[in-house]
Homo-oligomer: A and B are copies of this chain.
Amino acid sequence: MKLTEAEWQIMNALWSGSPATARQIADRLGEEVNWAYTTIKTMLTRLSDKNAIKEAKAGKVSVYEPILTRQAARRNALKGLVNQAFDGAFGPLMHFLLEDQKLSDNQKEELMKALEQTEGGREQKKEGV
């Protein structure tokens, strides 16, 4: 399941609170983009067609709700990026993040901490992606 840029916007709005009506989504997005209401409806229909969300009638009005989880979407997107731009392996990505992104000291600290934690919990590894 690959999302386009515009679809990400809609999904982000939806993940931030669902179920939601098209109107609510429009309101949430209002600050970032300036789409016609019908544009949003179009996107919602398309997302529904690809089963990323589901549409239900609450009375007369449609309410929408994600099917695709944020986590899964992130996973897919990341995977896509890694394949496309980082030789298909996480190693190079990590490397790049560390080398290029010049994490702040704080971020490094956090990262270290996080690492140590997962380090502890390594035995229950779920199979991936």
Contacts and interface: CB of A to CB of B under 8 A. Distances in A.
Interface in A103-126: 103, 105, 107-108, 110-112, 114-115, 118-119, 122, 125-126
Interface residues of A, number: 40
A94 B110 CA distance: 9
A112 B126 CA distance: 21
A91 B107 contact: yes
Interface in A36-51: none
Interface of A: 5, 8, 71, 73-75, 77-78, 81, 84-86, 90-91, 93-103, 105, 107-108, 110-112, 114-115, 118-119, 122, 125-126, 128-129
